[in-house]
Amino acid sequence: MAEAAARSLRGPRCLLWALLCAGSWSLISAQTPQVIQVPENHSVNLPCKAIAGQGTPSRLEWKFEGSGNREFVYYHDQLTDNYKNRAEFHLNEIYLKSATRQDSGKYTCQVVGDSGLSESVVDLIVQVPPSKPKAEVPSSVTIGNRAVLSCVETDGSPPPTFKWYRNDILIPTDPKTNTLFQNSSYTLDSKTGVLTFEPATAFDAGDYACEADNQVGTSQKSEAVRMEPSEVNVGGIVAAVVVLLIVFGLAAFGIWFAYSRGFFKRRDTTNKKVIYSQPSTRSDGEFKQTSSFLV
Ligand SMILES: *[C@@H]1O[C@H](CO)[C@@H](O)[C@H](O)[C@H]1NC(C)=O
Ligand SMILES: *[C@@H]1O[C@H](CO)[C@@H](O)[C@H](O)[C@H]1NC(C)=O
178 lines ligand 2 (CB under 6 A): no
Same domain? 38 vs 90: yes
Same domain? 35 vs 118: yes
Whole-number Å distance between alpha carbons of 167 and 175:
15
Domain that holds residue 88: 2-7+26-127
From the CA of 202, which ligand is nearest? 2
Whole-number Å distance between alpha carbons of 192 and 151:
8
- From 127, 146, 180, the end of a domain falls on 127
Q: Write the residue with the smallest CA distance to atom 4 of ligand 1.
A: 41
Same domain? 111 vs 165: no
Q: Write the residue with the smallest CA distance to atom 11 of ligand 1.
A: 40
Q: Judge whether 294 lies within some domain.
A: no
Give residue 284's pLDDT. Answer: 52
Do 184 and 176 form a contact (C-beta atoms < 8 A)?
Answer: no
Q: Judge whether 210 lies within some domain.
A: yes
183 lines ligand 2 (CB under 6 A): yes
Q: How many domains does the chain have?
A: 2
Same domain? 92 vs 152: no
pLDDT at 178 over 80: yes
Q: Looking at residue 178, which CATH number applies to its domain?
A: 2.60.40.10
Q: Judge whether 16 lies within some domain.
A: no
Q: Write the residue with the smallest CA distance to atom 14 of ligand 1.
A: 40
From the CA of 126, which ligand is nearest? 1
287 lines ligand 2 (CB under 6 A): no
pLDDT single digits (tens) 82-112: 999 999 999 999 999 999 999 999 999 999 9
163 C-alpha vs ligand 1 centroid, how far in Å? 26
Give residue 70's pLDDT. Answer: 96
Same domain? 107 vs 138: no
Reported as a pLDDT band with limits 50, 70 and 90, residue 31 is low
167 lines ligand 2 (CB under 6 A): no
Strand 147-152, strand 134-136: pairing: antiparallel
209 C-alpha vs ligand 2 centroid, how far in Å? 22
pLDDT single digits (tens) 118-163: 999 999 999 999 999 999 999 999 999 999 999 999 999 999 999 9
Computed over every residue of the chain, the mean pLDDT equals: 84
99 C-alpha vs ligand 1 centroid, how far in Å? 10
Q: Write the residue with the smallest CA distance to atom 2 of ligand 2.
A: 183
From the CA of 131, which ligand is nearest? 1
- From 70, 95, 127, the end of a domain falls on 127
Q: Judge whether 20 lies within some domain.
A: no
Nearest Cα neighbor of 26 from 47, 12, 7, 9 is 7
- From 230, 246, 273, the end of a domain falls on 230
Whole-number Å distance between alpha carbons of 202 and 45:
55
Give residue 256's pLDDT. Answer: 87
Q: What is the mean pLDDT of residues 188-214?
A: 97
194 C-alpha vs ligand 1 centroid, how far in Å? 29
The answer to whether the pTM exceeds 0.75 is: no
pLDDT at 294 over 50: no
Which residues contact ligand 1 via a Cβ below 6 A? Answer: 40-41, 128
Same domain? 104 vs 153: no
Same domain? 50 vs 83: yes
159 C-alpha vs ligand 1 centroid, how far in Å? 17
Same domain? 48 vs 107: yes
Give residue 133's pLDDT. Answer: 98
Q: Judge whether 152 lies within some domain.
A: yes
Name residues whose C-beta falls within 8 Å of residue 60's C-beta, 6 or more positions apart in sequence.
48, 51, 74, 77, 91, 109, 110, 111, 112
Do 104 and 157 form a contact (C-beta atoms < 8 A)?
Answer: yes
Give residue 242's pLDDT. Answer: 87
127 C-alpha vs ligand 1 centroid, how far in Å? 11
Q: Judge whether 73 lies within some domain.
A: yes
pLDDT at 56 over 80: yes
183 C-alpha vs ligand 2 centroid, how far in Å? 6
Give residue 8's pLDDT. Answer: 41
Same domain? 179 vs 142: yes
Same domain? 121 vs 138: no
pLDDT single digits (tens) 236-286: 777 888 889 999 999 998 888 888 887 776 555 555 544 444 545 555 544
Q: Write the residue with the smallest CA distance to atom 2 of ligand 1.
A: 41
